[in-house]
Chains A and B, each alone.
Chain A
Amino acid sequence: MEMIMNQKHFFLYALLLTLIVFNLGIFMGYMLESSRVSKINALSVDSEMELLDQMIQKNAISLLGLDCRSMIEENAKFGDKIFEEAKQISKYEEANKISTEIITQHKRFDLLRALFWMNSIEIKQKCNSDYHNVIYLYKYNNPSIEQKSKQAFFSNILSEIKEKQGSKMMLIPISADNNITSVNILVKKYNISELPAVLIDEKVLLTEITNSSEIEKYLT
């Protein structure tokens, strides 16, 4: 039977088609991940602006003697926002397979959160506020299965407490192993040698939790 299509040409066409489909898949995947990174980027820019705004407010209180109330409220709102953002970013990170840009974005968020933490300490001192700073430090790079599971448990417990406490608790998740100098200094200052760890009001450090009450007792 006559071969309608030359054998050699067919294999070349098939190879070409395979390469096109494969590259198209990778390209589409890259586009999908890029769009997610863009969303994270937009969130981070938004958070950055809010944080800068708060820092200006804080300076204004010191310099001009303005009322603390609005700043405490804004701080609480920002704390809630950070909590929601962290959940969103974590989902995008799990789904991220090609692009490494998300890692840079994560570092940026870590910096923002560290800055927010410092700001929260300062506002608390200046305004004599009674909210609690709960810093959740976790391992971001290649956690073991044990660490990953433990972190998932810590996250659940902390999320539950945050839902109950609302704006009385500033839950600030920071990855402690992302090689950020300022975060490294803070980790060293609070003697954090094991991850995950929960630091409550810069006084209590917990690396083992068996239930939520072990944290909640420090938040009353």
Chain B
Amino acid sequence: MNHIKKILIANRGEIAIRIMRTCRELNIKTVAVFSDADRTSQHVRYADEAWYIGKSPSSESYLNIDKIIEVAKRSGADAIHPGYGFLSENARFAFRCMHEGIIFIGPSPKVIRQMGDKIEARKLMSAAGIPVVPGTSRPVSTQEEALKAIRDIGLPVMIKAAAGGGGKGMRLIFKEEDILEALRASRSEARAAFNDDSVYIEKYIVSPHHIEFQILADQCGNTVHLFERECSIQRRHQKMIEETPSPLMTPELRAEMGRVAVQAAKAVKYTGAGTIEFLVDKDLNYYFLEMNTRLQVEHPITERVTGIDLVKQQIKIAEGQKLEFAQEDLHQTGHAIECRIYAEDPDNNFMPSPGKIHKISEPLGFGVRTDGYVFEGYDIPIHYDPLISKLIVWGNTRDETISRMRRALYEYKITGVKTSINFVERIMNNENFIRGKYDTHFIEENQEQLSNKKDPENCEDMVIIAAYINYLDKLNRAEENRKAFAPAQSRWKKMPYINHF
């Protein structure tokens, strides 16, 4: 068994800090890596060591395998945690770590490659007896092949990129005559995004739920599931709110899908933490969608209801330790919801909104957790994901959790950039969400209620008064000259006055 003493976190933002928190609890030293844009980022300041790895675009820093391996060796890290995104599902990187004698905290390069190719994954799962969405078992390149597939499967269908992810290369088809154009567009988008234009055709499940199961598997062949996460609230095929337990789930279906998820993981000799994603239709038929061979963004809701630190388990498994619990030891206690807080403008088609955080006050109190990384004066870079933080709330029941989430969102204040805080608050007040009646079309179908931004406070005159006083105050201050010294050029927020009321 290898005892890990120092971990390099090949990531940035909230997930880098999330991982370092667990390392600190385990008394493991942490090594941060950073690009030009991240010199003042929180993960650099939290870690024991921080090493520069290149320019701001991720292709020149967080995706630079050679550089990251070089830093791991120079800093003496014995393991690398890839987080999510970036190199987390890159088989070449996992292989390189293995080759260099560095522990990659994740599954084997072989499994990453198998599950990364969506066609291959479908084949393997089918062979293991896991229900998959009806579709082609080979890449489709000609119109004839596509037409034949459509007639076999039945419309509507979805064209998807084999190397896919993030909604890139996806095309929905309702009519046979649309096939040629959709096929061309899908392949061209797939080539641009993944440098691989293989696409396949799958039956389009109408009004599906997106439900995933968390898996943990050690190197001794023990595999358990940590129940489901309901991830149907999405915009642009990206998740926005997740909860567990799923309002759709029955105890019988949970037991069955959990068993199937474990079977799927065992079929590919999976090790570490992983997620099996399913589509579930309204008649509770479920189909394997894909397997994510890494930690998920939404993992904290599972941690909250099971009491198990998934990053800690990942590290223990990577060290070669046996799982300390069996399936029957695991239980879901209460209910957990996660809201993702993005730097984006929900009232303008979710356009990203990078920029400087003017002020931030995060929610606290019973049952509330935030996994974030920004602070006052921090400039959210344009180069990376717009996720600011994840707000995770726990309650005894779903109703209590929703009320607590509303309370936490009331406390959550970020100014300087636009955020999705108000938007998710409207979701928490949506009748259909409260009743647990929603599928992946929720945001489109409830647009009217969700775009209602009427201010119930009606305090326009108070805002005018504030602006007026602020300006008068500035005029007063301009009279006295307070330029005691000119600080060096700095990206830190300047605080010339002590703030007190």
Specify whether A and B are partners.
Answer: no
Give the interface of B toward A (CB within 8 A). Answer: none
Give the interface of A toward B (CB within 8 A). Answer: none
